[in-house]
Amino acid sequence: MARVSLQPEAERALTPAEIIGGARELGLDLTAEQGDRLARYAALLVRWNAVHNLTSIDAPSSVLSHHLLDSLSVLSPFARIFGERQISVLDIGSGGGLPGIPLAVARPDWRVALLDKVEKKVAFLVQARLELGLANVECIHGRAEDLSAAPFDLIVSRAFASLEDFVRVSRHLLAPGGRWAAMKGALPSAEIEALAQTNPDVRVVDIVKLDVPRLGAERHLILLQRP
């Protein structure tokens, strides 16, 4: 009789089919190639995490829900703003490439810059860019407040800082008519009030309650704009 090996959950890699199926629950249709890229990215994240501690979540089911689907959940709100046009995106405090890498895979027409101040995290981002063949991705080591670059149409952060600090460090990097997009858990009412006091020229243009499949936790997207 053939021997059957049952791998524990922490060792079983995500499949492209699982990722494509999860994205479909968000109303997104990923191609087989995109599913494969995201599966390879998830495996690379778990592998590097064992040494470099990039994330506290590395079980495959949690990587799917807490990282990949959580990142992809903002695509529909972004599509309502920008439609199908090509845009430039800055992911501040990208860490392990979230949400920037899933966004870059799902929207290869977007130019996505991944920024982090921690050198080992940027080393991972560079490796992911190379292994996944992401020609639309740029990896930058540094701080947003020190970055000199062409302005971006969209500046996104995922649990990076308070709204006030997010705006403060990246104000000079937002293009006219662009949007800040802060990915948060529970609705940050106190942060919204504080932002209105310190940055009266910045307004909240939308608050989107995100429904992330299999996550079981609150998620909100706060969209900001200035004149």
What secondary structure does DSSP assign to 191-225, as a single string? Answer: HHHHHHHH-TT-EEEEEEE---TTT-S--EEEEEE
Instruction: Give pLDDT, residue 48.
Output: 86
Contact present, 13 and 38 (Cβ < 8 Å): no
Instruction: Give pLDDT, residue 147.
Output: 97
Alpha carbon separation from 195 to 56, 162, 182, 200, 226 (Å, rounded): 29, 9, 13, 8, 12
Q: What is the strand order of the sheet 152-158 is part of?
A: 137-141, 111-116, 88-92, 152-158, 174-184, 220-225, 203-209
Q: How far apart are CA 63 and CA 68, in angstroms?
A: 6
Of the pLDDT bands very low, low, confident and very high (cuts 50, 70, 90), residue 58 is low
Sequence-ordered list of residues with C-beta below 8 angstroms from that of 17, at least 6 positions apart, any chain: 35
Query: Which two structure tokens, joined as six digits, stand for 26?
Result: 């968000």
Mean model confidence pLDDT for the chain: 92
pLDDT at 3 over 60: no
Judged by average pLDDT, the poorest of 101-110, 134-143, 188-197, 209-218 is 209-218
In tens, the pLDDT along 16-33 reads 999 999 999 999 999 999
Instruction: Give pLDDT, residue 56.
Output: 65
Domain boundaries, the chain: 73-225
Q: How far apart are CA 149 and CA 91, in angstroms?
A: 13
Q: Is 15 exposed, middle or buried (0-12, 13-18, 19+ CB in 10 A)?
A: middle
pTM above 0.85, yes or no: yes
3-class DSSP state for residue 48? helix
Contact present, 108 and 38 (Cβ < 8 Å): no
Which superfamily does CATH assign the domain made up of 73-225 to? Vaccinia Virus protein VP39 (3.40.50.150)
In tens, the pLDDT along 146-200 reads 999 999 999 999 988 899 999 999 999 999 999 999 999 999 999 999 999 999 9
Q: What are phi and psi of 33, to 5 degrees?
A: -65, -40
* 67 phi-psi bin (left φ>0, alpha ψ -120 to 50, beta other): alpha
Query: Which two structure tokens, joined as six digits, stand for 121?
Result: 């995290």
